[in-house]
Amino acid sequence: MIAVAGGKGGSGKTTTTLGLARALSRRGAPVVAADADWDLPNLARLAAETAADRVPAGTGLRAAEEDGRTVLDAARGTERVRPDRSEPTVLAAPDSPRSVDAHATFDALDAATPNDAPVLLDCPAGASPDVAAPLRAADRALIATPLRRAALRDAAKTAAIASRLGCPPVGAVVIGETSVPDRVAALLGCPLLGSVPDGGAAPLSDSAVRSAYDDIARRLGETEAAAAWTVA
């Protein structure tokens, strides 16, 4: 499991979770993307709103749609989650998150997903107490951050917290840029897997943004964290 984490809200974690999940699907991987930000959940909403972005205009194909299952549904299921290779399985936050044991749920989700399936967790912002559950459940963290001084400082703190919780960063993604100074990787204490250009109000419909996530998916697939994944 990869926890997509970062600094404060608006750092690009949710867009990166979904953009990377779709990029891995384009490489033939059976991907699960789960909302771990239960206080401010928007992964499933973003997936539904941008479903048409997955299908090129004029193909006549029906766009993928979020299937309505929650992280809790998947964790409590009697059968393992079986993600499709053509599109990510997107899991929404529970309807009543405060009545749910997050640590147990993410551990159960890990056990319910195939070993060869990339599982991405869209984490809460920054160093909030709620980020501990997904970071403890995940194997590695992916740090998403804009290239701003305050955001980078917060992202570095999050990367350090992830390491202390046994979820060391596998790499970082810089949002809204086409080039990144070398010192950013040193600041965050992990390799830079890539940067994603500014795609405007609808970044996942931008071809340059999709191409950037495709490149990041390729690089992530080459890391030790992805050794067991089925990726083309």
Alpha carbons 4 and 120: distance in angstroms, whole number = 7
- CATH value at residue 79: 3.40.50.300
Query: Using an 8 Å Cβ cutoff, are 121 and 12 in contact?
Result: no
- Tokens 């044991």, residue? 101
Residue span of the structural domain in which 109 resides: 2-226
What is the distance between the alpha carbons of residues 103 and 83, in angstroms, rounded to a whole number?
22
Distance CA 104, CA 6 (A): 23
Domain membership of residue 81 (yes or no) is yes
Supply the pLDDT for residue 226: 76
Of the pLDDT bands very low, low, confident and very high (cuts 50, 70, 90), residue 10 is confident
Q: Which two tokens stand for residue 163?
A: 């390491």
Structure tokens at 144: 């998403």
Kindly report, residue by residue over 62-106, the tens digit of the pLDDT. 334 446 789 999 998 866 788 888 889 999 999 998 899 999 999
Q: Mean pLDDT, the chain, as a whole number?
A: 88
Measure the CA–CA gap between 5 and 27, rounded to whole angstroms. Answer: 23
199-228: per-residue pLDDT in tens? 888 899 999 999 999 999 999 989 888 787
Backbone angles phi, psi at 160, to 5 degrees: -65, -40
- Is 208 inside a domain boundary? yes
Mean pLDDT of 127-154: 91
Instruction: Please choose, from the candidates 228, 182, 177, 196, the residue with its C-alpha nearest in 3D space to the C-alpha of residue 4.
Output: 196
Reply yes or no on whether the pLDDT at 56 is more than 90. no
In a domain, 68, yes or no: yes
The answer to whether residue 232 sits within a structural domain is no
Q: What is the mean pLDDT of residues 134-154?
A: 93
231 belongs to a structural domain: no
* Domain contains 174: yes
Residue ranges of alpha helices (H) inside the chain are 13-26, 43-49, 71-76, 102-112, 132-137, 149-164, 183-188, 207-221
Residue 121 falls within a domain, yes or no? Answer: yes
CB 92, CB 71: distance < 8 Å: yes
For 150, phi and psi rounded to 5 degrees?
Answer: -65, -40
- Dump pLDDT digits (tens) for 102-124: 999 999 999 899 888 999 999 99
Number of domains in the chain: 1
205 vs 3: CA distance, rounded Å? 24
Please check whether residue 39 lies inside any domain of the structure. yes
Question: What's the whole-model pTM score?
Answer: 0.91
Distance CA 132, CA 162 (A): 8
Closest CA to 178 of 208, 221, 210: 208
